[in-house]
């Protein structure tokens, strides 16, 4: 949408003007033409005007439309400061002026007829907090230069009373751009470390939202995405928040058949795809999913000639889409679990879930606007979305967007970009520690390094501690947060392996098989309760009812709490090996064996045994520069474990199989090595 006049550049300083009053809609009035969009409903006309007060006077903007329908939405971005701004509105139609209700967040208007040949919308802006009966009470402001605030003029369907501020939960970037517009939000490592401010990111997400709207995506509609990490992925995520749409993250490690089933399950309106996945997208048409609207992130990598391109958003302007009334319980993301049996389940992460996870993380982990992290965990996973990315948006920090994990790149960013916080999985930390640059790297600015996704070998902790970093493990799962615990820095060595205490707005308990609370150091199932717990599983009511009972999420994970209240994760309930009536927890045995200097990875599984019912078997990967011997490893373990916990057999392999979520695939190991 292009205006007939030229809007004032918000980046230029506007000097104070003479003090004589200027009439409304003087020669500085700017006229913009609306753009008609047919979306299967009455014509919706939208336009945008950027402007500011020029000193101490009132300013008004005249927006001309060729046609206005009853209850149309009008959006404007108003550059304002750290104080409230309100707008007085008059809609001039062929049948006379129609006045709207005044409010700091919007105005409800209704034209006298469903369509008028031509009408003008007049906005009289002034710096004020005081108004009465819909009439503006201006106050002069000498030399005041206001930055950006968003004001929305809403149709008559609005339930807001005059003067009431509408609350739109989904527009995170819009809110953050008001608070710290020039703060660097993202650094695009895929594009020469290009910095992106919160204002720029918000504008980009607005354009993406407008494009998704033209493709039919609105509140409650699913928008699927199959792409590697990139800034555009984040644009689409936060665009969905603005629209009330639901982002369906697709794991690019899944087999084509699995992708087809997940897309059928969610029924997305739009399927966004990165350039690396053109072949997979083409395969969907063969599978009968050709009717889904496809949106290519790269114009040179369309799956089909009729694919839409994300670049088309650039012609739609930077204005926010019409705001959508949302509730905390409205879904924002379908994020899939990393299960090893059957298709992954789609955990429904609501606006409330993502918000409360961010609140808990900022408050309990002590994040600040000065924090900088590297985002190289895959964005199809809750770790990429919610460990640091969303919390840093809330507090106004910075994320460096990387396509994937590359050790050299991480060391470059530690040296050059001032990383302060870092999340990864154990294999990432092992790769860093085995890299030639490990010993020369300067970690002095890294204040928080946390591992998740799988049990972490003790040697990884120790090598970080030797470098002066209070390395620790967290605990979380797709269905809850994922951030749930925090271990204070002063306890990382004294309580090695502990995940610490629940975060600020989270309750946890450990129960036995009968649901009774366990005592100190008794192992039981971990239950979690809090506003960060997901709403359930997409289209799986029975599994939802089984997992969430009486407000408690039954995690299926085993844990214990010591006498001081520190929590330790023991393993998965389904992985427990019962040998001769004794419980063997694989995570405990794996942790001990992984401490051997020649061991890179280890997985403990059960195999049938005529005498004991089942016994443990260890599948081990040696380090590249060393080779572990089975007998040597048994001896090593016997000094640290009870005899019944020791593996009866050790199998040496080159690599461990992994699930699409990157976890060790113990079901596959059991198939290969004779497990039940």
Torsions phi, psi for 386 (to 5 deg): -120, -10
Residue 150 pLDDT greater than 60, yes or no: no
Residue 106 pLDDT greater than 90, yes or no: no
The CATH T-level fold of domain 169-326 is: Rossmann fold (3.40.50)
Which tens digits make up the pLDDT trace of 573-585? Answer: 887 888 877 778 7
At 53 the pLDDT is: 32
Residue 367 pLDDT greater than 80, yes or no: yes
Q: Which residue has the higher pLDDT, 356 or 62?
A: 356
447: left (phi over 0), alpha (psi -120 to 50) or beta: alpha
Neighbouring-strand partners of residue 577: 584
Q: Are 616 and 646 in contact (CB under 8 A)?
A: yes
Which tens digits make up the pLDDT trace of 18-69? Answer: 333 333 323 233 333 333 333 333 333 333 333 333 333 333 333 333 333 3
Q: Domain ranges in the chain?
A: 35-166, 169-326, 576-673
For the ranges 25-29, 298-302, 303-307, which has the lowest average pLDDT?
A: 25-29
Task: Choose from 35-39, 145-149, 154-158, 654-658 the range with maximum mean pLDDT.
Answer: 654-658
Question: What percent of the chain is predicted at pLDDT more than 90?
Answer: 52
Per-residue pLDDT band at 257 (split at 50, 70, 90): confident
Dig out the tokens for 335 from the structure.
């994020």
> d(Cα 8, Cα 532) in Å, to the nearest integer?
43
At 241 the pLDDT is: 97
Residue 546 pLDDT greater than 90, yes or no: yes
pTM: 0.70
Q: Which string of DSSP letters, residue by residue, matches 187-250?
A: EEGGGTSEEEEHHHHHHHHHHHHHHHHHTT--TT-EEEEE--S-HHHHHHHHHHHHHT-EEEE-
Q: Which residue has the higher pLDDT, 601 or 146?
A: 601
At 661 the pLDDT is: 63
At 96 the pLDDT is: 38
- Residue 271: enclosing H or E segment and its boundaries? strand 270-273
Quote the radius of gyration of the chain (alpha carbons, Å). 29
Tell the CATH superfamily of the 576-673 domain: ANL, C-terminal domain (3.30.300.30)
Span 591-614, average pLDDT:
85
> Terminus-to-terminus CA distance in the chain, angstroms?
64
């Amino acid at each position: 949408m292009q205006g007939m006049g030229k809007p004032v550049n918000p980046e230029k300083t506007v000097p104070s003007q003479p003090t004589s009053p200027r009439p409304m809609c003087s020669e500085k009035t700017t006229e913009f033409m609306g753009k008609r969009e047919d979306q299967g409903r009455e014509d919706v006309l939208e336009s945008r005007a950027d402007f500011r007060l020029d000193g101490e006077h009132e300013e008004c903007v005249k927006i001309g439309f060729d046609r206005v329908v009853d209850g149309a939405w009008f959006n404007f971005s108003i550059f304002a400061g750290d104080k409230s701004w309100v707008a007085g509105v008059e809609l001039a139609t062929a049948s006379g002026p129609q006045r709207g209700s005044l409010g700091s967040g919007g105005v409800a208007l209704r034209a006298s007829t469903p369509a008028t040949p031509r009408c003008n919308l007049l906005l009289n802006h002034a710096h004020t907090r005081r108004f009465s009966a819909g009439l503006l009470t201006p106050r002069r402001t000498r030399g005041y230069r206001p930055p950006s605030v968003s004001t929305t003029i809403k149709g008559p369907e609005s339930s807001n009373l005059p003067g009431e501020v509408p609350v739109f939960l989904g527009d995170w970037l819009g809110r953050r751009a008001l608070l710290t517009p020039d703060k660097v939000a993202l650094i695009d490592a895929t594009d020469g470390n290009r910095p992106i401010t919160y204002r720029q990111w918000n504008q980009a997400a607005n354009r993406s939202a407008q494009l998704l709207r033209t493709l039919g995506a609105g509140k409650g509609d699913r928008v699927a995405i199959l792409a590697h990490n990139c800034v555009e992925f984040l644009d689409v995520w936060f665009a969905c928040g603005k629209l009330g749409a639901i982002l369906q993250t697709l794991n690019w490690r899944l087999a084509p058949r699995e992708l087809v089933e997940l897309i059928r399950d969610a029924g997305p309106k739009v399927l966004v795809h990165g350039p690396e996945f053109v072949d997979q997208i083409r395969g969907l048409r063969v599978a009968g999913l050709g009717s889904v609207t496809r949106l290519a992130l790269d114009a040179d990598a369309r799956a089909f000639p009729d694919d839409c391109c994300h670049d088309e958003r650039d012609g739609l302007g930077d204005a926010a889409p019409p705001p959508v009334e949302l509730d905390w319980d409205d879904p924002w993301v379908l994020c899939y679990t990393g299960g090893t049996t059957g298709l992954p389940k789609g955990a429904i992460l609501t606006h409330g879930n993502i918000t409360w996870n961010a609140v808990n993380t900022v408050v309990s982990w002590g994040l600040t606007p000065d924090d900088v992290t590297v985002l190289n965990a895959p964005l199809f996973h809750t770790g990429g979305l919610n460990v640091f990315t969303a919390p840093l948006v809330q507090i106004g920090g910075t994320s460096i967007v990387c396509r994937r994990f590359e050790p050299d790149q991480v060391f470059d960013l530690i040296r050059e970009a001032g990383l302060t916080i870092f999340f990864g999985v154990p294999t990432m930390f092992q790769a860093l520690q085995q890299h030639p640059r490990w010993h020369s790297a300067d970690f002095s600015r890294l204040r928080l390094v946390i591992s998740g996704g799988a049990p972490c070998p003790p040697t990884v902790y120790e090598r970080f501690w030797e470098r002066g970093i209070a390395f620790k493990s967290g605990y979380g799962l797709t269905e809850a947060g994922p951030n749930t615990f925090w271990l204070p820095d002063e306890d990382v060595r004294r309580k090695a392996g502990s995940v610490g205490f629940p975060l600020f707005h989270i309750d946890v308990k450990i129960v036995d098989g009968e649901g009774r609370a366990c005592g100190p150091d008794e192992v039981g199932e971990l239950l979690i309760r809090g506003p960060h717990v997901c709403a359930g599983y997409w289209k799986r009511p029975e599994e939802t009812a089984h997992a969430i009972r009486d407000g408690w999420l039954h995690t299926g994970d085993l844990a214990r709490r010591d006498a001081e209240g520190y929590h330790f994760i023991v393993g998965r309930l389904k992985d427990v090996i019962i040998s001769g009536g004794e419980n063997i927890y694989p995570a405990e045995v794996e942790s001990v064996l992984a401490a051997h200097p020649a061991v890179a990875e280890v997985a403990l599984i059960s195999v049938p045994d005529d005498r004991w019912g089942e016994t443990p078997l260890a599948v081990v990967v040696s380090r590249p520069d060393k080779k572990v011997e089975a007998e040597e490893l048994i001896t090593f373990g016997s000094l640290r474990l009870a005899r019944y916990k020791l593996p009866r057999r050790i199998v040496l392999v080159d690599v461990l199989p992994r699930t699409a979520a990157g976890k060790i695939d113990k079901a596959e190991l059991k198939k290969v090595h004779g497990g039940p």
